Amino acid sequence: MTDIKIKITDRDGVLHEIDAPTDMNMNLMEVVRSYELAPEGTIGICGGMAMCASCQCYVKSDHVLPEKSEEEEAMLSEAFNVRDNSRLSCQLHINETMDGLEVELAPEEI
Amino acid sequence: MIKTDILIIGAGPTGLFAVFEAGLLQLKCHLIDALPQAGGQCSEIYPKKPIYDIPGFPEVLAGELVDNLMEQIKPFQPGFTLGERAETIEKLNDGSFVVTTNRGTKHYAPIVAIAGGLGSFEPRKPLLENLTKFEDKGIAYIIKDPEVYRDKKIVIAGGGDSALDWSIFLADIAAEVTLVHRRNEFRGALDSVEKVQQLKNEGKINLITPAEVIKLNGSDRLESVIIRKTSNAAENITLEVDNFIPLFGLSPKLGPIGDWGLEIEKNAIKVDNTLDYQTNIPGIYAIGDVNTYPGKLKLILCGFHEATLMCQSAYQRIYPDKKYVMKYTTVGGITGFDGSKKEAPKAVVKAID
């Protein structure tokens, strides 16, 4: 089993450096939830189907991430607070290449 | 006033299955849901997605699951108040409840079961200055009566089915329809996308993409919007309009239920999972995704179990003096309130010569 380090800035601006497992079939949204970095019910509302934007994050490091799927692209085109570096964290599956990744959670849509 | 035995708030899979379990106990149910159709998230968010963990169904589409549940509960004649949100609750002296919706519909029941999932679906609102100022003064997020838009100049924003479908529908009614979307690609049924293309070619829909509405102008009412084209040659377009309809889908909010005096933890309602999923207010239960307890899993199959135990407890509250013995449907069959009867065919007992 191997863990990678990920830096996550939560919605209050607090930086968390956490270990994320690469062998548990987890995506970044699930990692955020497992560490409770955003209140339950405010992130991953659709469960990870790229059908809401509650898990939107901004990628701050220059890691090469898998390209956005049509579904992710479409959802982000209707989300708010979207920037060029926006991703849906539920679509980012944790793997070794993401070691050292830095992301910031997008504000909650109200 | 609508009267029932168990008032269920939320018509998702858990709420629907509760009707079945209540029906076996001869208890009547009525459901309230903010969405215009039953099924909750299964119908609203992912009707075409397959679900693989419903016991006995190796694979079932969420929409099909809802259709099946509706068929299963039909004999128990549930009532529905759809398109209305449960707003307030009042506890009467006899221990029963009156729940009133945002449209003033009143429901009376001795038992309230909240099966509200993630909450009621509210329209997602774009982040624009003065947005609330123009609400109902030119801005609406839900189209209730299309006639309001007859001969009006309207702009619709969004890239999903509802933006496409309403643009098509209003093209015949409104004086002018402009559809604004951040991308050139739309996510919707192929028919709808093609129809919008056709109406655009015919000049009946004015399509502006990739673009977004960035500013709202007007003194008392909305008078114009500024649309920013985000293609290579960025430009701002000022468009005189009577109405702006942002259609960015819906997102769930716990909403008024959060103010009912129930114990809330992590945006969910705390319940007694050792017994019957009752909340801190006797007579009010919370089942399915809306509740929380140690080890809670937000799964449809867990909601079904919770609904079943809730109904047993509700029965005891309504009939404290009756002794009830659980009967298997294979033994007792199903007797609907509509007079229908389903039961296992009798085994053949016949001598062989």
> Encoding tokens for residue B329?
């449907």
Q: What is the pLDDT of residues B87-99, one digit of tens each?
A: 999 999 999 999 9
Largest CA distance in chain A: 39
CB atoms within 10 A of CB B278: 21
Does any domain span residue A110?
no
Predicted pLDDT of residue B209 = 92
Chain A interface disruption, residue of B51, B124, B181, most A CBs within 10 A: B124
The one-letter code for the residue type at B303 is G
Rounded to an integer, the average pLDDT of B261-282 is: 94
The one-letter code for the residue type at B308 is T
Among B128, B126, B124, B125, smallest CA distance to B215 is for B128
Give the CA-trace dihedral at B261, B263, B269, B271, to 10 degrees: -120
How many distinct structural domains can be found in chain A?
A: 1
Rounded to an integer, the average pLDDT of A75-88 is: 91
Does any domain span residue A25?
yes
Q: Does residue B126 sit at the A interface (CB-CB below 8 Å)?
A: yes
Instruction: Say which residue, A75 or B180, is predicted with more confidence.
Output: B180
> Are B254 and A41 an interchain contact pair (Cβ–Cβ within 8 Å)?
yes
Chain A environment of B248 (Cβ under 8 Å) = 78, 80
How many interchain CB pairs under 8 A, A with B? Answer: 50
Domain architecture of chain B: domains with CATH: 2-122+251-342 (3.50.50.60), 132-248 (3.50.50.60)
| DSSP secondary structure of B81-114 | EES--EEEEEE-TTS-EEEEETT--EEEESEEEE
Chain A environment of B126 (Cβ under 8 Å) = 80
Chain A environment of B118 (Cβ under 8 Å) = 41, 45
Instruction: Say which residue, B175 or B120, is predicted with more confidence.
Output: B175
Q: Does residue B248 sit at the A interface (CB-CB below 8 Å)?
A: yes
Chain A interface disruption, residue of B51, B251, B293, most A CBs within 10 A: B251
| pLDDT higher than threshold 70 for residue A103 | yes
Contact present, B20 and B76 (Cβ < 8 Å)? yes
Question: What are phi and psi for residue B194, nearest 5 degrees?
Answer: -65, -40
Rounded to an integer, the average pLDDT of B336-344 is: 92
Give me the percent of chain B exceeding a pLDDT of 70. Answer: 100
Does any domain span residue A38?
yes
Among B144, B128, B162, smallest CA distance to B136 is for B144
> Are A51 and B187 an interchain contact pair (Cβ–Cβ within 8 Å)?
no
- What is the CATH number for A44? 3.10.20.30
Chain B environment of A77 (Cβ under 8 Å) = 159, 181-183, 185
State the residue range of the domain holding A97: 3-105
DSSP state of B244: E
Chain B: give the shortest CA distance to residue A105, in Å: 18
Portion 18-77 of A in contact with B at CB < 8 A: 39-42, 45-46, 49, 51-52, 54, 73-74, 77
Chain B interface disruption, residue of A40, A73, A77, most B CBs within 10 A: A77
The nearest alpha carbon in chain B to A45 belongs to B118
Predicted pLDDT of residue A1 = 61
Distance of CA B170 to the CA centre of its chain: 24
Q: Does residue B124 sit at the A interface (CB-CB below 8 Å)?
A: yes
Residue B208 to residue B230: CA distance in whole angstroms: 10
Chain A: give the shortest CA distance to residue B159, in Å: 7
Rounded to an integer, the average pLDDT of B177-205 is: 92
| pLDDT higher than threshold 80 for residue A110 | no
Predicted pLDDT of residue B124 = 87
Does any domain span residue A26?
yes
CB nearest to B251's CB, from A39, A52, A81: A52
Rounded to an integer, the average pLDDT of A6-28 is: 95
Does any domain span residue A73?
yes
Q: Does residue B221 sit at the A interface (CB-CB below 8 Å)?
A: no
Q: What is the pLDDT of residues B210-252, one digit of tens each?
A: 999 999 999 999 999 999 998 777 789 999 999 999 998 888 8
Rounded to an integer, the average pLDDT of A15-20 is: 96
DSSP state of B202: T
> Encoding tokens for residue B340?
């229908």
Q: What is the pLDDT of residues B225-235, one digit of tens each?
A: 999 998 777 78
Which residue reads 């114990």 in tokens? B263
Does any domain span residue A30?
yes
Chain B: give the shortest CA distance to residue A34, in Å: 13
Quote the ipTM score.
0.78
Portion 49-68 of B in contact with A at CB < 8 A: 49
Contact present, B179 and B163 (Cβ < 8 Å)? yes
Q: What is the pLDDT of residues B37-71, one digit of tens each?
A: 999 999 988 898 999 999 999 999 999 999 999 99
Contact present, B102 and B55 (Cβ < 8 Å)? no
Chain B environment of A81 (Cβ under 8 Å) = 127
CB within 8 Å of B43: residues ≥ 6 apart: B35, B37, B62, B63, B66
Does any domain span residue A91?
yes
How confident is the prediction for chain B on average, in pLDDT?
A: 93
| pLDDT higher than threshold 90 for residue A105 | yes
Among A45, A47, A48, A57, smallest CA distance to A81 is for A57
Q: What is the pLDDT of residues B279-334, one digit of tens each?
A: 999 999 999 999 999 999 999 999 999 999 999 999 999 999 998 888 899 988 99
Chain B: give the shortest CA distance to residue A86, in Å: 15
> Are B126 and A80 an interchain contact pair (Cβ–Cβ within 8 Å)?
yes
CB within 8 Å of B191: residues ≥ 6 apart: none
